[in-house]
Every structure is written in C-alpha cells, then in structure tokens.
Amino acid sequence: MKRRQLLGTAAGVSALAGCGLFDDDPEPPPAPDALQPLLDEAVALAAAYDRAAVAEPRLAARLTPLADDHRAHAAELAKVIGAALPSTAPSAPPGPAYSLKSLRKAEQVAQKTAAAACRKAPAARAALTGSIAAARAAHAEVLR
Amino acid sequence: MNAQLAAALAAEEAAIYAYGILGVRLTARGERTEARAAEAAHRARRDVLVTKLAALRASTAPAPAGYALPFEVTDRASALKLAIRVEDGVAQAWRAVLPVTEGGDRSTALSGLTDAAVRAARWRRLGAVTPATLAWPGRP
C-alpha cells in the first residue's frame, strides 16, 4: 500500500514537471478578437464598393456613401480591438467587379456576422455591434 | 433595464401615433401600404414591450392621448420626413436596450433597431434624401 502511494506521488511530480517548469514551448498566439471578422468584412466591403464605383461610374454617387459607412465602422472597430487598420489603397484595389446583386448578398452575409457578434458581445460592445448589424441591413435594403 | 424598456415603449407608442397622422398624407399606393405595414410592426413591438414590462412588474407612464409632433404634416414631403424622424427615434431607443440585456431580450432589441434602420433607409430613399443610410443607426 505504502509503495503504491509512493509511486503515485512520483508520477504526480513528473506530471507537474511536464506542464510548465521545464517547458520551453513558445506561448500560443493570442486568440483573435471576436470583432476581427467584423473588421475584415468592413474593410472588404468598402473595397468592393470602391471597385464597383470605378467599374460603373454612374453608380458612384449611390455606392460611395455605403463605402464611407464601412470605413467608419472599420476605423472604430480597429480602435476598439487595438488593431492596425489596413492602409486604404489610393485607387480601387484589384479584384472582381461586383454587381449590385452580389453587393447586396455580401451585406446580408455581413449583417449575420454582426448580429451574431452582437448577441454574444459583452455589454460594452453590444451597441457598437448592434449599430453595425443595423447599418448592414439598411445597406442591403437600399441596394434592392 | 426597465428604464430602457420603458423608453423603447414610449418610442413605439410615438411611432404608432405618427404613422396614423402621416399615412394619409402619402400619395402613392405603395407608400401607404408601406406605412400600414410599419404601423403594424410598431404595434407588435409595443405589445411585446407591454407584456415584458408587466412581467417585470415595472410601472410605465400611460401612453399620452396625443403627441406633439416635431413639425406639421401637411403633404407627402413632411409625411416622409416624419416617418424618417420616428424610425430614427425608435432605432435610438432599441439601441439603448442592447447593453442592458442578454440572450433573447437582446435579440429582440437588435431586431427592433435593425428593422427601424431598414425602414428609415426605405423612407429616405422614397423621399430622395441622401445619403439614404446612416453609418451608426440608433447612435444619438
């Protein structure tokens, strides 16, 4: 009986040693902020509107305010997360030109991301994410 | 939470009253249909809030019989302007509920905010108000 207890203790000590003291594994990278997907979407949507406005100049007056909304969201999200905002390209970055229909679809997908984030957010972030979800829904509405 | 829910109720009551006034000033049939649908949506939200506040045993001020409109509604343009004004007010009220709720109650508040923002955008578009959207719906 005594012998078994002793063995047990020894096993416990070696297990302890394995979990940290002599471990030189690098720290795992911090998990991305829960709002990072919202920031990525805001940046991507702003760029998509810019491309569409360049491809179809007659739509520019309609699409530019929507792009500006997304840029405002991206700036505020970056501030809250403490992330660097990707520098905005002076002209429309390369990529596929979007139709109004595909932009509307993208807004609807992004609205779902923001709504899910709002439902799970701590109180301090609930209004921010809620407004972003509502803005994306309103964008989809005016693209009808 | 009760104060924010009571404020949302007051905003919904004001919206119901406003749509009753402004609906008849809209000229296109589609616009009148839209106003009726909006009024019904606000009534449904009002009922949810009344039930919720009763369950919380929160006392609320009775809805006034009439509201002072921010401006006179005399034609289609002023009717659309009032519709935009009340939807922005409803959005503000529901946005304030978000931080003080969780779970299903927060989802209800988010729907209230989102639907008001969508309707405000629709009215702005019909009234040729640019831009038709706000970057931060519900932010005072």
Among candidates B90, B70, B78, which has minimal Cα distance to B137? Answer: B90
Pair of tokens at residue A140: 């989809």
Which residues does chain B have with pLDDT short of 70? none
CATH number for the domain spanning A48: value is 1.20.1260
The end-to-end CA distance of chain B, in Å, is 18
Q: Is residue A44 part of a domain?
A: yes
* Residue ranges per structural domain of chain B: 2-57+69-126
Residue A11 banded pLDDT, cuts 50, 70, 90? very low
CA A65 to CA A34: how far, in whole Å? 26
**For the segment B73-100, what is each residue's pLDDT rounded down to a tens digit?**
999 999 999 999 999 999 999 999 999 9
CB contact under 8 A, A127 and B134: no
Give the structural domain span for A99: 36-84+95-142
Chain A residues in contact with chain B using a Cβ-Cβ cutoff of 8 Å:
61, 65-66, 68-69, 72-73, 111, 115, 118-119, 123-124, 126-127, 130-131, 133-135, 137-139, 141-142
User: What CATH number labels B2-57+69-126?
Assistant: 1.20.1260.10
Interface confidence (ipTM) of the complex: 0.95
Q: For B109, name the nearest residue in chain A, comparing CA atoms only.
A: A130
Q: Is the pLDDT of residue A141 over 80?
A: yes
Retrieve residue A32's tokens: 């991305």
CB contact under 8 A, A127 and B99: yes
- The DSSP H or E segment spanning B107 is helix B103-126
Residues of B in contact with A61 (CB under 8 A): 130
pLDDT digits (tens, 9 = 90+) for A57-88: 999 999 999 999 999 999 999 999 998 887 65
| Domain assignment of residue A16, yes or no | no
- So what's the pLDDT on residue A26? 72
How many domains does one find in chain A?
Answer: 1
pLDDT in tens, A18-47: 445 555 667 777 788 999 999 999 999 999
Alpha-carbon gap, residue A44 to A129, rounded angstroms: 17
Split at pLDDT 50, 70, 90, the class of A15 is very low
Question: How many Å apart are CA B131 and CA B7, to the nearest integer?
Answer: 28
Q: Is A106 within the bounds of a domain?
A: yes
Asked if residue A72 lies in contact with residue B136, where contact means CB atoms within 8 angstroms, the answer is yes
Query: Residue A45: inside a domain, yes or no?
Result: yes
